Chain A
Amino acid sequence: MPLTNEEIDEIRKILGREPTVEELAMFEAQWSEHCSYKSSRILLKLLPTDGKHVLVGPGKDAPAVKIFRDYAIVFKIESHNHPSAVDPYDGAATGVGGIVRDILSLGAKPIALLDMLYMGDPRDPHANWLIRGIVKGISDYGNRIGIPTVAGDTWFDSSFNTQPLVNVACVGVANIDDLVLGAPKPGDLIIIAGNATGRDGILGSSFASKPLSEDRDKDIGAVQVGDPLTEKLLIDALQFLVSKKLVRYIKDLGGGGLTTAISETAADHGLGAVVHLEKLHTREKLSPLELLVSESQERMLIVVDPSNSRTVEEILKRFDLQYSIIGYFTDDGIIRVYFNGNKVAEVPAKELARPRPIRRASTPPQDALKGLKPIFVLPPEPKYEEAILKLLASPNIASKRWIYQQYDHEVGIRTVVKPGYGDAAVLRLLDGSRRGVAVKGDANPRYTSLDPFNGAANSVGECFRNLVAVGSKPIAIVDELNAGNPEKPEQFWYFEMMLKGVAWMAEELRLPVVGGKVSFYNEDHMGRQVKPTTTIVGVGRVDDISKAMTVEFKEHGSAIAIIGVTYPELGGSEYLYRLFGIEEGEIPRPRPVSEIRNARLIQKAIRLGLVNAVHDIGVGGLIASLAEMAIMGRLGFSIDVANIYARGVQRIDELLFSETQARYVVEVRGDRVDEFTKLARSMNVRFSIIGRVVDSNRIVITSNSKTVVEIDLDRVADVYNNSLEVELEGEA
């Protein structure tokens, strides 16, 4: 977004003179929505960010939470929506690179990547091209840097056909004492290490702060191109430098390039800086303006005490990394930029780094009424066999193995619960103990588009449940709010409501929101906003990885129980959409009190070894969870829906497909059913035992002993396992 006239006036006031072209470019980069959060900053204060586990909250390159007495988790989320719409391969790949560098900036070791991808209809040719490019970009980049991609979330919806949402998250671990939390001091040297600066991603953050132009070729120069080999060398070298305590401060050169990295570092610590641009190593001859705002990837700012500079230089050389020492920090709060001895910019760091926030107007649009409409008349009950198979074939439910098998999810040998096996990924710390961390990312674009407040709250709830289901204790979350154009009040309203939904639910579940990102201007070329989407990534503490829980049935004759009450909540469900094309109605209510109570039971049952498998109930309802448990375990089951603890339910499809929150399916060990029942009662949790796991290769559902449906497990497995591939690649 180019600067507005008012902003240029403000810059004149700050400088007391006409700005130079270089200064204008610096302000444009830094005051872009992407870098400055100017439209969102006032509202972001609503998020609960404190908690006893929080070591570093929002504001730094990445937050840190204390997961064990001696270990910290550093994790963060980022979006690369706009670049991925123009150049899906490089756009998605560089998103991975950027988020990893944020984790490195605190001195942590990156151990896991997550990708939350909200993409178009696989059968739409353009969307199909985008999907393949995005997945391949992540695969080629993530695999090369040796960080496993262990979890994520995927959704397909035609509103994302031309503007996908590519949200990536990285999780790192560090000994608490080894976190790089120092501050740069006046006189410290500014080293830029990594890739040579080139003419790519010029003003990329500014490009991400406006709608895409109709002629996409015009935007291509704003997309960065990734170099995973240099990224890997940066990871190795920085880890070495940090272990030797040779660096004072680290920052990624991301959106806004050199300008943002230097101005934010200076402003955050009350410093100024002197920068000599001609010293920067470059790929080609660049003007001072280009040097200031290029967003070439794989570059990091390393702040070093001058007495350590020779050692640091030797280490960088040894790792085959290019670098240049371009200047130093000062104590006067002014950033002075020179090019071949000529001063090209002189600006106060604080004013550059923090533009005045903007209060945006917000009005609910007519469309929002869709989410307020209760569904009075349901379509006639379907044939259940057909309905179940259709639902499992939905790309939003079917196995995502076409995607995750393209990612190396095992490198690092930490991945204990792997993609497809659990509601969240579980990684061990690999410190000789049995301690570990659970990670997961979640969103439901349909929910947030129908009801942004409750939809966003449900994203928090879903993530919470997924972390609980694998046997972890949820510790903290980060959020990514993908919204439309903040200048349009009817689109800004969605952002505001989503943010409030996250704030409310996080507070209720006592999950601090330690960091996050806002992505605006997610509109298609017609100016329609794509489905506004709240992505939540959470981390949980695992005390003993040998007890980490997976979803697959394990034992013939064990009991199947549902934890939580089922309500007739089909509004916004995958069932209504996939079978009847209905995309409206009140979405399931967030139920924080039940979430907490039911989660405690799950955690306790896992700890006591009463259960073999746990799966949360989410998109697709009870039947989707049961089918996954059976398919992964290669064991059939038989249930009677009349046994389901429900309220207000009148039809079988409501029991099978309702997406009521705060529920889980558990496989209770055949010899521990009494104990489990007693425990659940004593904890005042609503539950019902609805059937048994049967080594029969069949799925049998009855209602008051009358058969509702009976299907061959192999058929169900075939549909579940292969539908996404068929959608993407056509019939074999």
Chain B
Amino acid sequence: MPRVAILKFPGTNCDEDVHHVLRNVIGIESSIVWYKDFVLKDWDAIIIPGGFSYGDWLRAGAIAARTNAVEELGNARSSGVPVLGICNGFQILVEAGLLPGALLLNESSKFVCRWVRTRVENPKGPWLSLVSDGQTLDMPIAHAEGRYYIDNESYSVLVKTSPIIRYLPGFNLNGSLYDIAGIATEDGMILGLMPHPERASEDFLAPRGFKTGGRIIFESIAHSLKRGW
């Protein structure tokens, strides 16, 4: 049975939510791992959930990105372990240089919690293996620092090679460049996104007019870990 680590830092607050979805909705084994106890080789996949690691001191994700645990994640690339960063987890991956770009303060300069509609382009890799190109995924966002920024040159590479999740028109609430909600490495092994898939994995939680767009990401990893991708 494959095992997924949910990496927890001081201030992480979506760890139990992700744990619940993996265990009770998807049915794969997972554990919440305190950052001090994290050892890469014990795990088949790693999720860094949302929250406010180290209280967002300095910049969101900046301090967690410099812990031993995240430095070890740098090795995950070579060892072929899939990594998913949700919200603050995305911020950490960007701060650690594992994904390109930066996440800046929302254009409104306010925290925003709302359901949005996104579309996936060029899906590949273990986290998007069941997602079809152009598929729309509904999920809620909840962040103050989610405005994605990337220089033109890097973007022109990214758009040709990597999976991209974009907010559909009317749903780019933070002012992200190119409407980017999430990006992955070229092989899709490392995926980061601002919306919360774990909050969009059960019918009870989707408000009227929205679907549970997050579940397919967890279904994908379960599928990929069993059958490859």
Residue in A139, A232, A413, A416 whose CB lies within 8 Å of B10: A232
Is there contact, CB below 8 Å, between B208 and A413? no
Q: Give chain A's interface residues, CB within 8 Å of chain B.
A: 136, 139-140, 143-146, 227-229, 232-233, 318-320, 404-413, 415-416, 418, 421, 428, 430, 432, 545-546, 550, 552, 554, 633
- Bound state CA distance, A233 and B8, in angstroms? 12
- Bound state CA distance, A428 and B17, in angstroms? 13
Residue in B51, B114, B144, B198 whose CB lies within 8 Å of A413: B198
Chain A residue contacts of B20, Cβ below 8 A? 413, 430
Residue in B14, B24, B34, B112 whose CB lies within 8 Å of A411: B14
Chain A residue contacts of B55, Cβ below 8 A? 144, 227-229
Most buried by A among B36, B112, B142, B202: B142
Chain A residue contacts of B39, Cβ below 8 A? none
Chain B residue contacts of A409, Cβ below 8 A? 113
Across the interface, name the chain B residue whose C-beta is closest to A415: B205
Across the interface, name the chain B residue whose C-beta is closest to A632: B208
A572 to chain B, nearest CB (A): 34
Please encode chain B, from 105 to 117, with 1 for each CB lying within 8 Å of some chain A CB and 0 for all others. Answer: 0000011111000
Q: A143-B52, A413-B198 are in contact. List 7 more A-B contacts (CB 8 A).
A: A229-B10, A229-B11, A233-B11, A318-B36, A406-B113, A410-B142, A633-B208
Chain B residue contacts of A144, Cβ below 8 A? 11, 13, 52, 55-56
Residue in B13, B21, B57 whose CB lies within 8 Å of A146: B13
Across the interface, name the chain A residue whose C-beta is closest to B196: A410
Chain A residue contacts of B11, Cβ below 8 A? 144, 229, 232-233
Count residues on chain B whose CB falls below 8 Å from chain A CBs. 34
B149 within 8 A of A: no
Is there contact, CB below 8 Å, between A418 and B52? no
Is there contact, CB below 8 Å, between B199 and A413? yes
Given known pairs A144-B55, A408-B111, the reply for A320 and B204 (CB within 8 Å) is no
B54 within 8 A of A: yes
Q: Return the 7 tightest CB-CB contacts between A and B, nearest first.
A: A146-B13, A229-B55, A144-B52, A408-B142, A413-B17, A406-B111, A408-B113
Residue in B110, B111, B204 whose CB lies within 8 Å of A546: B204
Please encode chain B, from 95 to 131, with 1 for each CB lying within 8 Å of some chain A CB and 0 for all others. Answer: 0000000000000001111100000000000000000
A–B Cβ pairs within 8 angstroms, 15 of them = A143-B144, A144-B55, A228-B52, A229-B10, A232-B10, A404-B113, A408-B113, A409-B113, A410-B196, A410-B205, A411-B50, A411-B199, A413-B198, A428-B204, A633-B208
Given known pairs A143-B111, A320-B10, A408-B113, the reply for A552 and B24 (CB within 8 Å) is no
Is there contact, CB below 8 Å, between B204 and A416? yes
Is there contact, CB below 8 Å, between B111 and A412? no
- Bound state CA distance, A228 and B114, in angstroms? 23
Across the interface, name the chain B residue whose C-beta is closest to A235: B13
- Bound state CA distance, A413 and B142, in angstroms? 12
- Bound state CA distance, A574 and B14, in angstroms? 41
Chain A residue contacts of B228, Cβ below 8 A? none
- Bound state CA distance, A554 and B209, in angstroms? 11
B207 within 8 A of A: yes
- Bound state CA distance, A551 and B196, in angstroms? 26
- Bound state CA distance, A418 and B204, in angstroms? 11
- Bound state CA distance, A430 and B11, in angstroms? 22
Is there contact, CB below 8 Å, between A410 and B113? yes
A108 to chain B, nearest CB (A): 15
Is there contact, CB below 8 Å, between B208 and A550? yes
Is there contact, CB below 8 Å, between B17 and A406? no
- Bound state CA distance, A319 and B36, in angstroms? 10
> B-side binding surface: helix, strand, loop or mixed?
mixed
B140 within 8 A of A: yes
Is there contact, CB below 8 Å, between B142 and A143? yes
Chain A residue contacts of B199, Cβ below 8 A? 410-411, 413
- Bound state CA distance, A409 and B140, in angstroms? 10
Chain A residue contacts of B10, Cβ below 8 A? 229, 232-233, 319-320
- Bound state CA distance, A261 and B206, in angstroms? 43
Chain A residue contacts of B111, Cβ below 8 A? 139-140, 143, 405-408
Please encode chain B, from 188 to 227, with 1 for each CB lying within 8 Å of some chain A CB and 0 for all others. Answer: 0000000010110010110110000000000000000000
Chain B residue contacts of A545, Cβ below 8 A? 204
Chain B residue contacts of A136, Cβ below 8 A? 110
Is there contact, CB below 8 Å, between A418 and B17? no
- Bound state CA distance, A144 and B55, in angstroms? 7
- Bound state CA distance, A421 and B57, in angstroms? 34
Residue in A228, A407, A416 whose CB lies within 8 Å of B205: A416
Is there contact, CB below 8 Å, between A411 and B13? yes
- Bound state CA distance, A617 and B1, in angstroms? 54
Given known pairs A407-B113, A413-B198, A416-B205, the reply for A229 and B17 (CB within 8 Å) is no
- Bound state CA distance, A384 and B14, in angstroms? 48
Is there contact, CB below 8 Å, between A406 and B112? yes
- Bound state CA distance, A140 and B52, in angstroms? 10
Chain A residue contacts of B110, Cβ below 8 A? 136, 139, 405-406
B112 to chain A, nearest CB (A): 5
- Bound state CA distance, A428 and B202, in angstroms? 12
- Bound state CA distance, A449 and B52, in angstroms? 41
Is there contact, CB below 8 Å, between A418 and B24? no
B97 to chain A, nearest CB (A): 24
Across the interface, name the chain B residue whose C-beta is closest to A412: B17
- Bound state CA distance, A534 and B204, in angstroms? 34
B159 to chain A, nearest CB (A): 30
A140 to chain B, nearest CB (A): 8
Is there contact, CB below 8 Å, between B17 and A411? yes
Chain B residue contacts of A418, Cβ below 8 A? 207
- Bound state CA distance, A418 and B142, in angstroms? 14
